[in-house]
Chain A
């Protein structure tokens, strides 16, 4: 029992320390008082989701149909890097740019951009979307393929001028004269503004990286005497004739730019040409005041819920109820500390999951308390009854929590980010509540060391309003 008491004090001290950590690392609650270590700890602030802090969430679909299967991963990584650079240019704090495979077979490549604090969607979209897509294309060899594309386009235009419904064909999206190569803006090292020494015409100079230089050398070597077209955002800008193989990895675009146009293009190319085209498929933005209100509501609901549950437990289950409240407090501080340390991004759904888990965490305590009471009624002394209560309640605590874990894991598996936020708090809640119910409650109850059986002990260990 001495051992139990030492352990119980240890749990209480650790619980208090963790509680202090949560308090001191949250400048919002500690306010003007600066608790010890708060300047260091404030980097462990809760990480709030966009629905609580306000901001914009954008989902893009990347068109990787032109990229070789093995290269998709690389292109998507390059895409993420480029968008990240773009976003960082605009000085958003803690932006999030991540890749996601979506679609029914996970074959759709997506890019998620989260911009906290930005609620002007148009501004956000403009800042990401206007990145130019640079492509190099070679001449399409003459043959049936070229003819059929040309014919499809011709038919389309004929029908259109004749005022008829134009025939649709996937060939319409192809260029009859050029085919794509692997060389895209992805391999661009830098772009510079140059002026032609004779005509003074502005030009854009391109310098490829190592891989791009090799590709460019290969393309120029194979196409000596032919044209190589340079496309920007799917429209051709220039198609110079290749005179010889170029191994230096340098190229120039002269597309009749005005100096201003050339300068913007250089800027845009340098901040990153997109390796693959993207299309915005979903937008969500939430104003900061709405987020703040949601956060306030969540915190208030959590606090009131906790207080009400604590009151209920103490009034109904008396001493075991009080112990359950202590265990619950330990549970809450551990969960909050985990949210800070992992860190778990808190959303309204996540907070709801956490509040719900508080209710469920009590379940194990209630099971044990009820079981202990039964054993007391069977004439055991308090200590034995507690021991028996625990061992008898254990199978149902174990089985019900395993099934909750199954639910949680499946939720996480299938979920979108919103659902995953909920699932994560739910899974953590189940795990930590098992720990708090079994270890904490058990230690506290045994450290009381009640062995006597008299009217007082049977009163504080029983429950409800009935007579003894």
Chain B
């Protein structure tokens, strides 16, 4: 199987992608949404023409320091500030309407206190780490009868490594594009974990079965054979998921658009990594085990 033979090339591709993603995260940083930082977001739509933004900005500068404006559509305006009390919110809308000279309707408003933001952030981390751990433990359990040639916890560990790979890359793309990181982003990452572990289990399950049936002379050959057999399923399943996600991306509501993009890339990367990264890793793990002194060759 070519994938096993050229596995170092695929490891290199994955390594480069992960590095690029981390670089994007470190250098560009995440555009963290108000869910996680606390703050407010007001979206208004002007009935007539949108007033001069520079003037509005100057008006807001004293009262709402650190506010940030962003135009949207033809007549809409999104303003971000620190979290606001009810009174401040009324003042803000008043200021945006230029003291009622530019009539507007408020499309949405959210204000989130800093404690809630902090709490959501820590909960998000806890959820991601718990899901990863839960999956590893489950896989180690599900493959407990498979101990030859590599033990079941190694399947768990390999799954965790490749799952981390699967969420780091889309997260890096998010950072690069400057999309907003909010609760939905975390939901997206967790769903990627959920979908992509499906793929890994299907491939590992086939390896498990083929080991029992003694398909292939070496472990590498068994893995290669298993990949060949599950290849069509991997592609077709992720194709159906990509179809629905594509529909959600193009036709779905604005609020879940970035989310579908995240999932779309995540599912694609997840399928890629099941076949080209996780499975070859099992072969690598076996090499390390049987020839510990010589290293990877």
Contact = CB atoms under 8 A, between A and B. Distances in A.
Interface of A: 51, 59, 61, 102-104, 108, 119, 121-122, 125-126, 129, 280-287, 289-290, 293-295, 297-298, 300-302, 304-306, 308-309, 312-313, 316, 348-349, 351-353, 355-356, 358-360, 362-363, 366-367, 370, 374, 392, 395-396, 399-400, 402-404, 406-408, 410-411, 413-416, 418-419, 422, 426, 463-464
B157 interface: no
A352 B194 contact: no
Contacts of B232: 370, 463-464
Contacts of B142: 399, 402
Contacts of A356: 191, 195, 241, 244-245, 248, 263
Interface of B: 83, 85-86, 89-90, 105-113, 115-116, 119-120, 122-124, 126-127, 130-131, 134-135, 138-139, 142, 183-184, 186-187, 190-191, 193-195, 197-198, 201-202, 205-206, 208-209, 229-230, 232-233, 236-237, 239-248, 250-256, 259-260, 263
Given A298-B252, A403-B198, A285 B106 contact: yes
Contacts, number: 233
Contacts of B198: 360, 363, 400, 403-404
Nearest to B190: A411
Nearest to A108: B115
18 contacts: A51-B255, A102-B119, A122-B86, A282-B112, A282-B113, A286-B108, A294-B253, A297-B252, A305-B243, A363-B198, A366-B240, A396-B201, A403-B201, A407-B134, A410-B127, A414-B130, A416-B120, A426-B191
Given A283-B89, A400-B202, A407 B244 contact: no
Contacts of A300: 251-252
Contacts of B247: 301-302, 304-305, 308, 355
B109 A281 contact: no
Main secondary structure, interface of B, reads helix
A410 B229 contact: no
A283 B110 contact: yes
A367 B241 contact: no
Given A104-B122, A282-B110, A399-B142, A301 B248 contact: yes
Contacts of A463: 232
Given A403-B198, A411-B187, 20 more contacts: A281-B116, A282-B110, A282-B113, A283-B89, A295-B253, A308-B246, A312-B240, A355-B244, A355-B247, A356-B191, A359-B245, A370-B233, A396-B205, A400-B197, A403-B139, A404-B198, A406-B134, A406-B138, A415-B127, A419-B186
A285 B110 contact: yes
A400 B134 contact: no
Q: Which 3 A-B pairs have the closest CB atoms?
A: A294-B253, A359-B241, A305-B247
Main secondary structure, interface of A, reads helix
A418 B131 contact: no
A348 B253 contact: yes
Contacts of A304: 247, 251
B239 A280 contact: no
B274 to A, nearest CB: 11
Given A305-B243, A309-B244, A366-B237, A349 B187 contact: yes
B139 to A, nearest CB: 7
Given A349-B184, A366-B237, A407 B108 contact: no
A300 B205 CA distance: 36
A392 B237 contact: no
Given A284-B109, A290-B107, A403-B139, A309 B240 contact: yes
Contacts of B230: 370
Given A406-B134, A410-B127, A411-B127, A121 B109 contact: yes
A294 B186 contact: no
